Structure 1
Amino acid sequence: MLTTSDFKPAFWLRNPHAQTLFASQVRALPPLAVEPERLELDDGDFIDLSWLPEADLAEDAPLVLVLHGLNGSLESKYARGLLRQVAAHGARGVLMHFRGAAGPNRLSRSYHSGETGDVGLVLERLRARYPRAPIGAAGYSLGGNVLLKYLGEQGSDSPLSCAVAVSVPYDLETCAYAVQKGFSRLYQTHLINGMREIVEAKVRDGIIERPLPDLRGLRDFPSFDNAITAPLNGFANAMDYYARSSSRSFLKRIRTPTLVLHARDDPFMAPEVVPSADELSDTIRFELSEHGGHVGFVSAGRFGAPVYWLEERIPSYFRGRLPGFEPVAEDSPVGEAG
């Protein structure tokens, strides 16, 4: 189902860049206490998890897996904000740092927009550890693309009870060129600088030994993905990577109840990346808003105070779809502006 979102931007944040930057840079959040875990993998690599502290939860308490975006981590404010809401709903919560996102991993390959194998492995481990727990997942931007692609690949075999994807680059090729325009080029520069740092660290550590071009000359996504992402991860070139990794062609195969939240003015992509209703499976509820930016969605509360609408909408979707996902107290931070 493709429908209109009920999100309304704060009157002082109607600009998409203001939405994006306020939510990611201006917002203040207290530190989040977590318990780290490193999963050792059969290929010699590892994945780092960050867990909400265990609070005497029952074996069948719901569990929410959070997937970050490009250059994201536990420090991403959208991730910490949602995990606070998960705790307020009496659920287990865990953020998966994609391979290489929490520091250089041991192999030359790293995470990318189409890497679903690691998500599948983590979910297998979670299901084995908590066999009675209903599991939900929320993915943002790149993490949302990975999540939707994974759900499409799994079809009816998905272990997830429900899922949410936010600000997804459904068509990677279109987005790679859209972010080169206007003010959005600043986002492109920031993201590529972060990707370059990961590669440079692995070169210094001797993890990547193959000859690489001058990384400083790779200033846009097609160039970077053609020279780095594609060859290090088994793709012929950037176009092959985009074609095989974009989630758009997997949407029709999704059988898990899934909420997709997207703003038409997302500055990371072009409006034409939004899929049509006939591209969606009947288990997808796609809520499209005119405003919201990229993982922004800041509305106004009392006296114009900022309200982080995603942290209201995502828990409201999980309630009723994840048994036991309910506010633990009337004074829980559900719906807080903070």
Structure 2
Amino acid sequence: MSLNLGGLFKIFALIGGFMGALFSASRRGAKSSVLVHFSEKPASLKICRPDGSVSTESLKSLVETRCASLFSKFNPVWWLFSGHLQTIYCVLGDFSKTDVLQYNRQLIRLEEGGTLGLDFAPADHSKVREDAPIIVVLHGLTGGSYESYVRSILVPATKPVEEGGLGYRAVVVNYRGCAGVPVTSSQFYSAGYTGDIRQALIYISQLYPRAPLLGIGFSLGANILTRYLAEEGEQSRLRSGCALACPWDLAKNNDGLRYSFTGRFYSKAMATNLVNLVERNLDGLSKFPDALIAKYIPTVLKMKGSGALLDDFDNTFTRIAGGSAPDFPFETAYDYYRWGSSHNVVSKIRVPYLAINAADDPVVQHVPMDGGGNGLVCMALTASGGHLGWFSAGTGGKIDRWIKAPVLEWMSLIGGAVVHPTSSAGRRIYLENGYYREEGRDGGCKEIEGGGLVEASSWQGVNLQGL
């Protein structure tokens, strides 16, 4: 049967109420606590002082003094007292009039044939310095630049300094088929495939060669970001990473969804989003009848309304179309999960990295907190907040997002105080046959027509947002 959103909300409200009543007594004091972990030997970073001098300070000291909000109490708004309710509000809440943002979209064509949509903010960037830091955003499972959790960060980050913002530029990398980006090849995206973000960063780097690039990923995007940073190491084009609600161990967290009563609701919702995404992009996919994925599309379409779970979809579609050879296709979804996880690569990251999860996240139930023993890594775990929620009581009775302050402080620290190398990060970029390429690697990207101004609200409602 089809997914009834109102019914789903009522079910989780009942569950949330029951769980809240059951555990409120034992967790009342813990709900606002934040667990923060650093390596025993935190890395040292060069910092530019207000007087122009340069000094060295440990990552731990810098986070404690300049990202103080990370250690502040998170008190959920009273009627979103459980992780389920926080998550469901993120999914079903009306944020159309909150953090309103306009983007300027640039489509880029990859040499393999795929298309990405890069949404730049502010749309009128004429007053933004060419060397202003750029926040590069990787969204969640089937989302895009319209997501409320994305806008909650980018609106204050791209607001001019004189208006209380950071004065940064931002670009959201919309995946193949997401947020109106056309599907122009038989390949999709996945939690583990980093080829697309690598190409997007090549394009952004050549467009703004003097600007430091700061990465932030949400949910699936956090996993992609983490894997990219680990794979690139010291060659990373991103000078930092911030991972929110990262799913880490894809196999374990999928089991948490499949084998729990409440988890299956979320798993079905995510599978429904993905099936809808394939359905919306049938015109594009149908142009590749000889591709391996073509024979599986009818099976995917039959999943609509069938109660299929996330790993049912992944076992049919993602394991085949979620990336390029030689890694893809995989034999099973679990082979893909084991390959695409990020919990086991954190030790390889070579730039400052902050990860924040919520202990009551019903989607991500297994969170590693050791940071791989990496001195450049800070891991934080809030007692509550759900999946990409972190809704707290704001001023004037309004709802705010607790996560906004620590993330903006982190971006301000990395983009404004940390001294970055003067040379461009990453391998040399060159232009050949119309494509921007990276020295020593296959593939390339180029600008194509079809972009323009995009309202953040344009694609709201096409999927369950926030997952």
TM-score by structure 2 length? 0.65
Q: Using the alignment, how far apart are the partners of 2:271 and 2:283 within structure 1?
A: 18
1:214 aligns with 2:302: no
Which of these residues, 359, 369, 383, is aligned with residue 264 of structure 1?
359
Q: Using the alignment, how far apart are the partners of 2:345 and 2:261 within structure 1?
A: 30
Range with greater deviation from structure 2 (297-306 or 142-151): 297-306
TM-score by structure 1 length? 0.89
1:19-58 correspondence to structure 2 within 5 Å: 19-30=86-97, 31-52=100-121, 53=123, 54-58=125-129
User: Match for residue 137 of structure 2?
Assistant: 66
Which of these residues, 162, 165, 171, is aligned with residue 94 of structure 1?
171
Q: Using the alignment, how far apart are the partners of 1:208 and 1:225 within structure 2?
A: 20
The alpha-carbon distance between structure 1 residues 124 and 278, as it changes in their structure 2 partners (threshold 3 A), is closer
* Residues 90, 324 of structure 1: 8 Å contact kept: no
State the structure with more CA Rg.
Answer: 2
1:92-146 per-position Cα deviation (integer Å, ceiling 9, x unaligned): 1111101222344111211110111111111111111111111111100000000
1:78 aligns with 2:149: yes
1:84 partner SS: helix
User: Match for residue 334 of structure 1?
Assistant: none
Task: State the AA in 2 paired with 1:199.
Answer: V
The alpha-carbon distance between structure 1 residues 179 and 82, as it changes in their structure 2 partners (threshold 3 A), is same
Task: State the AA in 2 paired with 1:248.
Answer: H
Structure 1: state its 5+ residue gaps: 326-338
* Residues 69, 140 of structure 1: 8 Å contact kept: yes
Range with greater deviation from structure 2 (135-144 or 296-305): 296-305
Task: State the AA in 2 paired with 1:323.
Answer: G
The alpha-carbon distance between structure 1 residues 278 and 136, as it changes in their structure 2 partners (threshold 3 A), is closer
* Residues 299, 316 of structure 2: 8 Å contact kept: no
> Aligned-pair distance for 1:263?
0.5
Poorly superposed stretches of 4+, deviation over 6 Å: none
Range with greater deviation from structure 2 (68-77 or 180-189): 180-189
1:261 partner SS: strand
Structure 2: state its 5+ residue gaps: 1-35, 39-69, 160-165, 323-327, 419-467
* Residues 271, 309 of structure 2: 8 Å contact kept: yes
1:182 aligns with 2:261: yes
How many percent of aligned residue pairs carry the same amino acid?
30
Range with greater deviation from structure 2 (203-212 or 7-16): 203-212
* Residues 5, 289 of structure 1: 8 Å contact kept: no
1:139 aligns with 2:217: yes
1:105 aligns with 2:183: yes
User: Match for residue 151 of structure 1?
Assistant: 229
User: Match for residue 426 of structure 2?
Assistant: none
The alpha-carbon distance between structure 1 residues 41 and 173, as it changes in their structure 2 partners (threshold 3 A), is same
Q: Using the alignment, how far apart are the partners of 1:301 and 1:202 within structure 2?
A: 39
User: Match for residue 398 of structure 2?
Assistant: 305
Count residues with an aligned counterpart: 323
Q: Using the alignment, how far apart are the partners of 2:127 and 2:417 within structure 1?
A: 14
